[in-house]
Amino acid sequence: MESWNIPLVEWIGYAASAGILLSFLMRDVLKLRAINAAGCLLFTVYGFLLPHPSIPIIVTNFTIFCVNLYFVYAIRKRGK
């Protein structure tokens, strides 16, 4: 599936980049972590979908995704 001659995998990469960028505009740490986690998850999917899957993209972003989930859980448990 292509839109404007841009393959779907590139759209996923753009969405991931936008998610990461958007997360840094958040003042609330919980929102920052949640949006950043979504961006990292999209980057993980992007890394898998590349013609030659990129292990550094996959490992780095999946690790950051897990770290974000941990902190989202910790913040919610603390009741902030």
Quick one: which of 42, 35, 36 has its CA closest to 58? 42
Cα dihedral 47→61→63→58 (10° resolution): 10
Look up the pTM and report it.
Answer: 0.90
Cβ proximity of 44 and 61 under 8 Å: yes
Distance in angstroms (rounded) separating the CA atoms of residues 1 and 20: 24
What pLDDT, in 10s, does the model give residues 11-70? 999 999 999 999 999 999 999 999 999 999 999 999 999 999 999 999 999 999 999 999
Tokens representing 56?
């550094």
